[in-house]
Amino acid sequence: MRQNLDFHENFSIGLIYHALDGRKIHLLRMNGNHGETVENPLRPSPHFGYHIHKITPEEIADGAYYEPKFSQLTNKYESFDQVIYYFLKYVNIVDYSSYFKNTDQLSIFD
Amino acid sequence: MKEKRPGVYQLFAPFYHEDGDMYDIFLKRTEHVQSEDKFLKLTDYGMTLMRLSYAYDLDTPNKEKILHKILASNYLKLDEKGRIYLETDLENLISSILIFAQGIAKVSNMKLYQREVVHSLFFDTLKEFIENSLAQYQPVKNYHPLSNEAEYEVDYFFNNRQRPLYLFGVNSSSKAKLATISCLKFQNEKVPFKSIIVLEDIDVLPKEDSKRLMSVSDKQFPSIEDFEKNGQKYFERESELEVGIR
């Protein structure tokens, strides 16, 4: 989990799979509204806003484990607190409230 | 450019990370003007090191040294909060932006130094050493001692002696298990051979795998570096030993 100290809307929560053979595969990353993102830099069709990167089977087959290219905009969260809650439910963390206190409580600013 | 905060402008330029996210480049006036010339500051507000930390930790003095070397070579500086920056002026702004983007790319690529990438190069390194330094012992790659059982494979077979040498490269738990099973199988089938295990790094192999491997094999090199350093001498001694026996 990362959040920029200067720009609180620039944050990132990711899920990494640690394979037995030592590979670390970045399955998913939920990003804040840090700027522009494109799916294909050679044919940029930029979109802006909160977005989620997900790895594809093709990337896994190619050994491209660290920078999942597929991304889609989302309106499921708009703050760091909200993304934590959404992420924990999305990836199905069991009993997450034991580890992340007060995640279910939205702040008055949400 | 878009104003991100009062006086801080985010640059929207076609510089993208591999996942399609744009480079984080911001422009602002310098806080403390050292000279009248350089009054503009390009900065990433710490986003480059934040991204790098997803896959790579700067957790040793050596890694920090490499980072500082990359920054210095690309005319970049780092402040106490991990923000990369470059001070410039209006006249040199375009070239400064290009230099800044280049520097960010190089810092971001530090993740390629991580163990997993080095790990994937193990067999390339092993192959290169064997082909360059042990060619006289006539190595044969991917050898199957049991003709009807192709699932038992030896990475390198050296048949320049009465009792051939079977070399296995081991860089993971699964490879260790495979080498152990293969050695046991060949022993059960009374195949004449001497086994050599070259580990990528003995410290990262689970203890149980290491113990089993040690129990069945004849010679182990605990790391690829050790094999590169001592492998040639080992093969020379083995050849002399065989000549002595004859």
Chain B residue closest to A21 (CA)?
Answer: B172
Q: Which residues pair with B5 in a beta bridge?
A: B8
Q: What is the CATH number of domain B2-113?
A: 3.30.1460
Q: Where are the domains of chain A?
A: 2-98
Of B14, B19, B120, Cβ closest to residue A68: B19
In Å, how far is A35's CA from the nearest CA of chain B?
7
Instruction: ipTM value, please give it.
Output: 0.84
The pLDDT of B212-219, averaged and rounded, is 95
Within an 8 Å CB–CB cutoff, is residue A49 touching chain B?
A: no
**Digit-coded pLDDT (tens) for A36-89:** 877 777 777 777 889 999 999 999 888 888 889 888 999 999 999 999 999 999
Output the pLDDT for position B32: 64
Within an 8 Å CB–CB cutoff, is residue A67 touching chain B?
A: yes
Q: Where are the domains of chain B?
A: 2-113, 118-245
Cβ count near B108 (within 10 Å): 19
Average pLDDT, chain B: 88
Architecture of the domain delimited by B118-245: 3-Layer(aba) Sandwich (3.40)
Report the share of chain A in percent with pLDDT over 70. 90
Helix (H) or strand (E) run with residue A16 in it? strand A11-18
Within an 8 Å CB–CB cutoff, is residue A34 touching chain B?
A: yes
Output the pLDDT for position B37: 64
**Digit-coded pLDDT (tens) for B76-135:** 999 999 999 999 988 999 999 999 999 999 999 887 766 555 666 788 889 999 999 999
The pLDDT of B48-60, averaged and rounded, is 88
- Residues of chain A found within 8 Å of residue B47, distances taken between Cβ atoms: 4, 10, 34
Report the share of chain B in percent with pLDDT over 90. 61
Of A4, A26, A36, Cβ closest to residue B12: A36
The pLDDT of B225-246, averaged and rounded, is 81
Output the pLDDT for position B246: 43
Q: Say whether B20 and A38 touch across the interface (CB within 8 A).
A: yes
The two counts, helices (H) then strands (E), for chain A are 2, 7
B41-51 exposure pattern, b = at least 16 Cβ within 10 A, e = fewer: bbbbbbbbbbb
Q: Say whether B119 and A39 touch across the interface (CB within 8 A).
A: no
Q: Say whether B116 and A24 touch across the interface (CB within 8 A).
A: yes
Output the pLDDT for position A23: 77
